[in-house]
Structure 1
């Protein structure tokens, strides 16, 4: 189950998704030097609009795609705060593909494979929408702007 998978916050604290049990989650692999980096603004806006209703956006920095997240965790925090006023939870740099892929992303990709049933994540800002029971509801491509997920989020929020 998703809630039991060990995670590390961007500040280096051990945690899990247990703290978010019962919430709708939008899990996103993010990067600061990506064509889609401006989506941080949309993710933050979506989060702020619906956090009180039960939505949590979770950001997982990833440097697996042409070195688009080269910074340290401290640099990532600073970038997100100063450029996009990110207030949603962020986690330590995470591998999403390959033999060292984090268990969370292995589970997400298995539950919601990509194009033609292929599980690898193709780029940063791939989004996974999780319902309140911890089931993967849907997977969305990097080019899907966060505001385009609003109807799906509202449906899951009930």
Structure 2
């Protein structure tokens, strides 16, 4: 398992990393996002949407649970589990977003993934620390066999 840490000095850097991920990640990528309130999870997903060419405004689906954006390079499925208990999450059958049985493969970005008991076998774990008003750190870790290796992915990334 490869693990990489990056410093993100501000929200623009977080968004830029997301934009890069949106342009680079293949269909079938699952991103499990963890971090406190204000750590940049939604900002990162907004950048991913920009990188995918999605023009619709991306907002956190805290109350809708899932927002689907189908007009980009590949679909983006943005999920937010903040309001749910782990037992409630299990009843949602979220596997349908990464097993291609019901939805076309895309990028699945799940905020508050620590509430997800049933995880896919292959994913990128993204943990953000810090807050909007201070430097953030992002830790990326490949679990299983993600569709792209972190070392290959980040070799193409040019930080701010």
Quick check: TM above 0.5?
Answer: no
TM-score (norm 2): 0.31
TM-score (norm 1): 0.31
Name the structure with the higher helix share: 1
Q: With CA pairs under 8 Å and 6+ residues apart, which has the higher RCO, 1 or 2?
A: 2
